[in-house]
Each structure stands twice: as structure tokens, then as C-alpha cells.
Amino acid sequence: MIEFIIDGAYTDDERLAVAVGLSITFRQVLVKARPSAAALEAAKEAIWGALLVSPCPPGLPCFDDVEKAKDHSEIYSTPVGYEGPIPPTARRRVSTFNKHYMKPWRWAKDGEKPSIGHELLPLMACLYRLLKPLDAVPIVVSDVRLQPAAVPPPDYMVIPTGHEPSEVAEVVDVYLPPLKASALALGMLMGGYEAGPVIAVAKTRDHITQQLVEAGGYVVVLDEAGDPCNLLKTRITGYGYVKRQYVVDPTLCDKCGDCLKAACPAIAPTRAGVPQILPTCIGCSACAILCTRGAIK
């Protein structure tokens, strides 16, 4: 018996991504697909709930007994091949998520190195500001990622577990290229994840992004214009920002340090505690987005 069978109107790599999204949230899934080698390699780093691939891909252990296949997949955290009878389906688990379960950044590694005014900083700042006040465990799945500087400790909580980011780059929880963020997020929602919003940062809009919104998810489309700071109101939006010259008003600043979570080299604390915007600033707006006091203008 298996919880889900994925055999829909998607490409082989998209089917695998949907299945991986289910596995990441601790569901057991069989996917009928012949995924590319690159997609399968990304999936190998992402297994929590059992993931069975039919027919058996080269290089994976292959089983004809579904129970043995599930056990091997979960014990060794690996996808496995399966070529036995198609099993019946039954839901037996609750969907859950912990971004650092057993090891730091379990489902995200690599990405672009942050720099002054990096084009992704305003996006990550918007997501951080939107998600920080929520009493929930959101999942942000992205086609792009900034590398965080910090390496957090592993966590051993199986229930949905939130983490306070120390910098905006930590907002992205799942980054598994070439697996599409929208398909991964769709799998999470198909599995019944309800502990917080599921957000996909997608390179482009397609049939899966629309299905994701219809299923209750949220999407930022990178190749369209829009304001991601309004995402929770609009459900789907584009991304863009306007460069301006910013200054800090010390009379409004309460020295909270939120602006420093941009981890941008162009803003730095002073001895007085009020941040200073350095001449190297190119006006990307990330620090201003993070400032809820209106002290950066």
C-alpha cells in the first residue's frame, strides 16, 4: 500500500518533482516517470517519506515488493525503483516539515553568493517581512537562492517546526534545481500540508503555477513585473524593484537591527546602534523593506 501515485499530465521531470514535494513533507509516493539523470540526482538529496520510481531508473536499487521498497527508501533516505504490481492507495500520515531535520539545510544548498544590491535581496526581504509575524510554519520553495552565511544546528522535531531566520537569505527552505519549485510546492499541497503557507518562487508562469494557486498556494513569478510584498493578498505576483538613494532617519530608528538581516555589505551598524548606509549602496531597497519603523527612506 502507498499513499499517493503520481501519473498525471506532466513531463517526467515534473512528475518526479511533485513526488519529491510529497516526500519532503513525509508522505509515501509512487511516481510513474522516466526522469532525467539531473532531476533524479537532485531527488536523491531530498527524500524523507518513501519515494518509489517506476520503471526502475538506472543506478537505483530496484524492488518488486512495495513494502520492502518503502522500507528501503525511508531507512536510507533515497529514492528506489519499483516494478511490482501497482499498489492500492490509502492516506496514513499527517503532512509535516522541518527545514533542518537531522541536518542543516536538508533541502537546500548552493545558490548565488550575496553581494551589494544583489537583485534577489529585495525579494528575500519582502518574503522575510511577510512571513516573520505569522504564527505558522511556511515553506518557501524556490528556483533561485542566495547562500546564507550561517550554518544552523540540525533539528530533531518531526512535527512542523519553524525557524527564525538570522538573515533574509535563510527564507528559502527548499532549492533543488533542476526540479521546478512550482511542481515541488504542488506536491506539498497535494499531500495536505496545512501548517503554514506554501510559496513557490518560479522562474516563469505555466500550467503548474496556476494549479498551485488553485490548490491554495502562493507564487512569485520572476519574469513578470509585480510587488512580492503584497503576495499574501494577491496569491500570485511578479517581481521588480526601483533603485533609489536611501538614508537613515535616526529620530525614527529604534535600533532593532531588522535592516541588518539583509546581510548587505552596504549597510553597517554604528557605535550608537543606528545603522549607517555606506557610499557603496546602489539603492536596491532591501533594508528599507525590512525597516517597519519607516526609518530608512
Looking at residue 159, what is its pLDDT?
Answer: 95
Residue 156 maps to a domain: yes
Looking at residue 129, what is its pLDDT?
Answer: 96
Looking at residue 17, what is its pLDDT?
Answer: 99
Same domain, 232 and 248: no
Distances from the Cα of 11 to the Cαs of 14, 17, 23, 55, in angstroms? 5, 10, 18, 15
Considering the chain, what percentage of its residues have pLDDT values greater than 90?
A: 93
> What's the rounded Cα separation, in Å, for the pair 264 and 291?
14
pTM here?
0.95
Same domain, 269 and 233: no
Residue 283 maps to a domain: yes
- Which of 24, 52, 4 has its CA nearest to residue 176? 24
272: confidence class by pLDDT, cuts 50, 70, 90: confident
Read off the C-alpha cell for 93. Answer: 500520515
Question: Of 200, 215, 237, which residue constitutes the final position of a domain?
Answer: 237
Same domain, 265 and 216: no
For residue 261, the enclosing domain spans 242-297
221: confidence class by pLDDT, cuts 50, 70, 90: very high
Mean pLDDT of the region 88-111? 95
Mean pLDDT of the region 39-51? 97
Residue 114 maps to a domain: no
Residue 163 maps to a domain: yes
- Which of 223, 21, 14 has its CA nearest to residue 140? 21
SS3 of residue 140 by DSSP: strand
Distances from the Cα of 32 to the Cαs of 9, 12, 86, 136, 293, in angstroms? 11, 8, 10, 33, 51
Same domain, 230 and 251: no
Residue 227 maps to a domain: yes
Taking 90 as the threshold, does the pLDDT of residue 45 lie above it?
A: no
Residue 99 maps to a domain: no
Same domain, 222 and 141: yes
Mean pLDDT of the region 168-173? 97
Residue 211 maps to a domain: yes
Residue 109 maps to a domain: no
C-beta of residue 123 within 8 angstroms of C-beta of residue 201: yes
Taking 90 as the threshold, does the pLDDT of residue 150 lie above it?
A: no
Distant-in-sequence, close-in-space partners of 207: CB < 8 Å, separation ≥ 6: none
Same domain, 222 and 137: yes
Determine how many CB atoms are found less than 10 A away from the CB of residue 174: 26
Looking at residue 257, what is its pLDDT?
Answer: 92
Determine how many CB atoms are found less than 10 A away from the CB of residue 71: 14
Same domain, 190 and 287: no
Question: Of 208, 237, 266, which residue constitutes the final position of a domain?
Answer: 237
Angle between helices 207-214 and 181-190 (to 10 degrees): 30
> What's the rounded Cα separation, in Å, for the pair 108 and 46?
9
Determine how many CB atoms are found less than 10 A away from the CB of residue 205: 16
Taking 90 as the threshold, does the pLDDT of residue 82 lie above it?
A: yes
43: confidence class by pLDDT, cuts 50, 70, 90: very high
Taking 90 as the threshold, does the pLDDT of residue 238 lie above it?
A: yes
Mean pLDDT of the region 200-206? 98
Same domain, 214 and 246: no
Mean pLDDT of the region 24-36? 98
9: confidence class by pLDDT, cuts 50, 70, 90: confident
What is the total count of domains within the chain? 3
Taking 90 as the threshold, does the pLDDT of residue 284 lie above it?
A: yes
Same domain, 204 and 277: no
CATH number at residue 280: 3.30.70.20
28: confidence class by pLDDT, cuts 50, 70, 90: very high
C-beta of residue 167 within 8 angstroms of C-beta of residue 263: yes
Same domain, 182 and 140: yes
Question: Of 31, 54, 82, which residue constitutes the final position of a domain?
Answer: 82
C-beta of residue 120 within 8 angstroms of C-beta of residue 112: yes
Handedness of CA 68, 40, 2, 28 (dihedral sign): positive
> What's the rounded Cα separation, in Å, for the pair 41 and 12?
14
* Chain centroid to CA 154: 17
Same domain, 129 and 202: yes
Mean pLDDT of the region 247-253? 94
Same domain, 190 and 158: yes
Distances from the Cα of 217 to the Cαs of 8, 244, 280, in angstroms? 19, 32, 38
